Homo-oligomer: A and B are copies of this chain.
Amino acid sequence: MIIARRWPLQFVEHNRLANGLTRTATVTVRGKSFDTPAFMPVGTAASVKALTFPHLLEMGAKICLANAYHLYLRPGTEIIKSLGGLHGFTNWPGAILTDSGGYQVFSMEGVRKITDDGVHFKSYLDGSPHYFDAEKVIDVQLALDPDIAMILDDCTPYPADQARAQKGVDLTVNWAKRAIEYFDSLGLYPETSPNLFGIVQGSVYPQLRRACAERLVELDFTGYAIGGLSVGEPKEDLWSMLEVTVPLLPDDRPRYLMGVGTPEDLVLAVARGVDMFDCVLPTRNGRNGTAFTSRGSITAKAGRYKASNEPLDPDCECFVCQSYSRAYLRHLLNLNHMTACTLISYHNMWFYLKLMESLRKAILENTFSEYMERFLSLYRSGDKSSADAKEDQ
């Protein structure tokens, strides 16, 4: 039976709130489990910037993201395949999801050409010509051998008029259909095959989001991503698009909001039924010295911390907060020591992963609303640990 062959993914829901959307579950893919809501550290090129995989293991990450487009260009899929796929290459024992690269290809205005069949683009490394289509990104991802693979979609830029957004939905659905057909034709074994997730597009048009979701649900993917958001649109559009889309997705399969977001975004999206997230913020901000804390984000390099004996976050139990003062971290940032990037990225990633753990616990114990209210209130209160904290933030 085709469903069984295609989808070796287990989704076991533990609790669902009265809104019918917010839930906590365990997803198992090829023997690797992760609890949802889950945050996936972003290892675009098979490495999470400034951190090591043992760091991610010790802080409890269970699934990481990598990017097929970047790895296809460098070091090349054949090299990774010959070294045992992404799991062999990275030695990461948890689950791996690869993005198809649709977002990257589509954001390269000027060096790519979209046709109904696929996308022609030039390598940013050497200008060499390449072509991705629905089938090709499956071949690339099968060589990389992740646990979850994404279809090629049209990541519609923002703003887009309705005609452009409609075109994006048509392309995405057409390519999704070709992806499913091609994937099925390969006759993969369910125990060893990656899962394929569909991606809902439709810009900020409710009727397009709805149409795209419905047409993808007919194609019967194991999981559904919501793409093309957090690309510049107002926050209220992000929330209303989730509110339109999530209820249309099958509630026995994971829902993944791509590329989102801040700690507040994660909490508000979980409230709206999202199960999976990825975002570069914890590591990107870590590298530029911005730390997420229970009282909002702080710029660790700020002069007012030069003799501060406080940790980044008084409520955090990560080794950085247990070991180092803001003064120490500021000192390392001033020296441009890469260890500062590592330490703050570590704290930020810990903050994200522990936030997800707290959200799961609150959902399980039916205390999600109270948790959300308390978290947002403290997070929005700002860092009061230094007398003049609000002044230059």
Residue among B79, B335, B337 making CB contact with A306, cutoff 8 Å = B79
Task: Tell me if A341 is interfacial: C-beta within 8 Å of chain B.
Answer: yes
Task: Tell me if A128 is interfacial: C-beta within 8 Å of chain B.
Answer: no
Residue among B47, B327, B328 making CB contact with A337, cutoff 8 Å = B47
Q: Is the CB of B339 within 8 A of A79?
A: no
What is the size category of the interface that chain A forms with chain B?
Answer: 35 or more
Nearest 3 pairs between A and B by C-beta?
A: A91-B323, A75-B331, A338-B338
CB 8 Å contact bits of A43-62 with B (1 = contact, 0 = none): 00111111111100000000
- Minimum CB–CB distance from A287 to chain B (whole Å) comes to 8
Q: Is the CB of A328 within 8 A of B52?
A: no
9-residue interface stretch from A12-20, A82-90, A186-194, A370-378: A82-90
A385 to B40, CA, bound (A): 36
- Minimum CB–CB distance from A295 to chain B (whole Å) comes to 22
Task: Tell me if A309 is interfacial: C-beta within 8 Å of chain B.
Answer: yes
- B residues in contact with A82, CB < 8 Å: 307, 309
22 contacts between A and B (CB under 8 A): A45-B335, A46-B328, A46-B331, A47-B337, A47-B339, A49-B337, A49-B338, A50-B338, A50-B342, A52-B339, A52-B343, A53-B323, A75-B306, A75-B330, A75-B331, A79-B306, A79-B331, A82-B307, A83-B325, A83-B327, A91-B323, A91-B324
Q: Is the CB of A47 within 8 A of B332?
A: yes
- B residues in contact with A46, CB < 8 Å: 328, 331
Chain B residue nearest to A319 (CB atoms) is B54
Task: Tell me if A164 is interfacial: C-beta within 8 Å of chain B.
Answer: no
- B residues in contact with A306, CB < 8 Å: 75, 79
Q: Is the CB of B328 within 8 A of A48?
A: no
- Minimum CB–CB distance from A196 to chain B (whole Å) comes to 26
Given contact pairs A52-B339, A82-B307, a sample of 13 additional A-B residue pairs in the complex whose CB atoms are under 8 Å apart: A45-B331, A45-B335, A46-B328, A47-B335, A47-B339, A47-B340, A49-B337, A50-B338, A50-B339, A74-B335, A83-B325, A90-B328, A338-B342
A interface residues, Cβ below 8 angstroms from B: 45-54, 74-75, 79, 82-83, 89-91, 306-307, 309, 319, 323-325, 327-328, 330-332, 334-335, 337-343
Q: Is the CB of A334 within 8 A of B91?
A: no
- B residues in contact with A319, CB < 8 Å: 54
- B residues in contact with A343, CB < 8 Å: 52
Q: Is the CB of B325 within 8 A of A49?
A: no
A48 to B340, CA, bound (A): 11
| Contact A325 to B89, CB < 8 A, known contacts A331-B45, A331-B74 | yes
Chain B residue nearest to A58 (CB atoms) is B54
Q: Is the CB of B52 within 8 A of A342?
A: yes
| Contact A48 to B339, CB < 8 A, known contacts A74-B331, A74-B334, A307-B83 | yes
- B residues in contact with A47, CB < 8 Å: 332, 335, 337, 339-340
A91 to B329, CA, bound (A): 12
Chain B residue nearest to A325 (CB atoms) is B83
A46 to B306, CA, bound (A): 15
Chain B residue nearest to A48 (CB atoms) is B339
Q: Is the CB of B309 within 8 A of A83?
A: yes
- Minimum CB–CB distance from A331 to chain B (whole Å) comes to 5
A52 to B323, CA, bound (A): 11
- B residues in contact with A337, CB < 8 Å: 45, 47, 49
